[in-house]
Amino acid sequence: MKTIILAGGYGSRLGHISELIPKPMIEIGGSPIIWHIMKIYSYYGYNEFVIALGYKGNVIKDYFYKLQSYNSDFTINTENNEITYHNSSADKWKVTLADTGIDTLKGGRIKRIERYLDDINMLTYGDGLADVNIKKLIEYHKSHGKIVTITGVKPPSMFGEMIEKDGKAISFEEKPQTSKGLINGGYMIFNKIMLNYLTSDKNCDFEFGPLEKLANIGEVMIYKHKGFWECADTLRDIEHLNKLWNTGIAKWKLWK
């Protein structure tokens, strides 16, 4: 089973940072957020990835091409360019990096990587971290027999929440989950037949259009995730995720 990561967007809400690197390469705890996402799937034994590239895709290609050297000490023989890696603890991943166009919408990106996919595939965005139990998510998808499963989450609030009693402040909670309805948190699964509802046209969207059609015929199910989920959408989000990582309370860190 392959895991698709949509990594082609502009990340326009991140201001000047997105002028230098694509959003999935923004660092949390010294590693790109896309690495954190892949570690979540890898924890459950899923190590084959297809990354749909777009804006500044070469930055992501370069990262994976040099990943072993980033994670290891190495000796290079400058005469013949032979490299010997030391103390390497590289993740055993198989990563396909596919250029899907600069301005292509999500549906078009998924369709353009069709040749790399399996009969059942996982799909997520390149900016969302969660402690979703991937094993239970897959079991749920296989149990209902529909084409698509979406992980539904409650978005965290932009602001902290004060808990009070009789006018006295009892506690302060940073970015609590809101009581609003569910949103698409990524961490989706789909049967390959879903691709029949997509085109490779750059204007083919995913949520608006194809997914709506599938929902209208009863082929979309929601896996309700009540645990941690947060999206690195703004500079404030990135600061918060780094704070969680640096203080040892990053709930998405399932690996050791």
30 located within any domain: yes
In a domain, 241, yes or no: yes
Asked whether the predicted pLDDT for residue 195 surpasses 70, the reply is yes
Q: In this structure, is residue 237 part of a structural domain?
A: yes
Question: What is the reported pLDDT for 130?
Answer: 97
Query: Tens digit of pLDDT for each residue in 203-240?
Result: 999 999 999 999 999 999 999 999 999 999 889 999 99
- Range of 82's domain? 2-152+181-246
* 170 assigned to some structural domain: no
Domain annotation covers residue 236: yes
Per residue in 19-70, pLDDT tens?
789 999 999 999 999 999 999 999 999 999 999 999 999 999 999 999 988 8
Q: Considering its fold, how many domains does the chain have in total?
A: 1
- In eight-state DSSP terms, residue 154 is P
Q: Which helix (H) or strand (E) holds 18?
A: none
CA 91, CA 122: separation in Å to the nearest integer? 19
Reference 34, options 21, 44, 23, 18; nearest CA is 23
pLDDT one-digit tens code per residue, 45-57: 999 999 999 999 9
pLDDT tens profile 141-168: 999 999 999 999 988 776 556 666 776 6
The pLDDT-based confidence of 176 (bands split at 50, 70, 90) is low
Q: Please state, as a whole number, how many other Cβ atoms lie within 10 Å of the Cβ of residue 145.
A: 9
Selection from 212, 230, 209, 107 nearest residue 158 by Cα: 230
For the segment 83-104, what is each residue's pLDDT rounded down to a tens digit?
999 977 778 999 999 999 999 9
Whether 176 is in a domain gets the answer: no
Residue 172 has pLDDT above 60, yes or no: no
**What is the pTM (predicted TM-score) of this model?**
0.88
| Residue 112 belongs to a domain | yes
pLDDT at 108 over 90: yes
Q: Residue 85 belongs to a domain with what CATH number?
A: 3.90.550.10
Is residue 174 domain-resident? no
Q: How far is C-alpha 153 from the geometric centre of its chain's CA atoms? A: 14
Distance from chain centroid for Cα 28:
13
Beta strands in the chain (DSSP E): 2-7, 27-28, 31-32, 48-53, 73-77, 82-86, 94-99, 120-125, 128-130, 148-153, 161-165, 168-173, 183-184, 188-191, 220-224, 229-231
What is the per-residue pLDDT for 19?
Answer: 76
For residue 188, give both structure tokens.
Answer: 């989706």
